[in-house]
Amino acid sequence: MDQPKNIKYNQILTKGKELFWKYGIKRVAIEEICKQAHVSKMTFYKYFKNKKELVLVILDNTVGKALKDYKELIGKECSFTEKIKQMLKMKLEGSQDVSKEFIMDIYQNPTLNLIPYMEELGKKSLDLTIEFLLDSQKKGFIRKEIKIDFILYYFNQMLAMTTDTALLSKYEKPQDLIMEATEFFFYGIGAKHLDK
Residue 1 included in any domain: no
Within 13 Å of residue 5, how many CA atoms lie on the same side as its CB? 0
User: Which residues form the domain of 91?
Assistant: 56-195
pLDDT above 90 (res 45): yes
Q: How many other CB atoms are there within 10 angstroms of residue 88's CB atom?
A: 23
- Which residues fall within 8 angstroms of residue 56, CB to CB, at 6 or more apart? 114, 117
CATH code for position 98 = 1.10.357.10
Output the average pLDDT for the chain: 86
Percentage of the chain beyond pLDDT 90 is: 42
Residue 24 included in any domain: no
Amino acid at 89: K
Q: Residues 47-57: what's their mean pLDDT?
A: 94
Q: Please give the tally of structural domains in the chain.
A: 1
Q: How many other CB atoms are there within 10 angstroms of residue 133's CB atom?
A: 20
Instruction: With CA atoms as reference, report the closest residue to 44 among 52, 59, 54.
Output: 54
- Which residues fall within 8 angstroms of residue 192, CB to CB, at 6 or more apart? none
DSSP 3-state of 51 = helix
Question: Lowest-pLDDT range, 11-25, 74-88, 118-132, 154-168?
Answer: 154-168
So what's the pLDDT on residue 1? Answer: 46
Residue 8 included in any domain: no
Ranges assigned E (strand) in the chain: none
pTM, 2 dp:
0.74
Residue 9 included in any domain: no
Q: How far, CA to CA in Å, does 23 sit from each of 18, 26, 103, 117?
A: 9, 8, 10, 21
Q: Residues 4-23: what's their mean pLDDT?
A: 91
Residue 189 included in any domain: yes
- Which residues fall within 8 angstroms of residue 186, CB to CB, at 6 or more apart? 81, 84
Conformational region of residue 190, where left means phi above 0, alpha means psi within -120 to 50, and beta covers everything else: beta
Residue 182 included in any domain: yes
Residue 115 included in any domain: yes
Residue 35 included in any domain: no
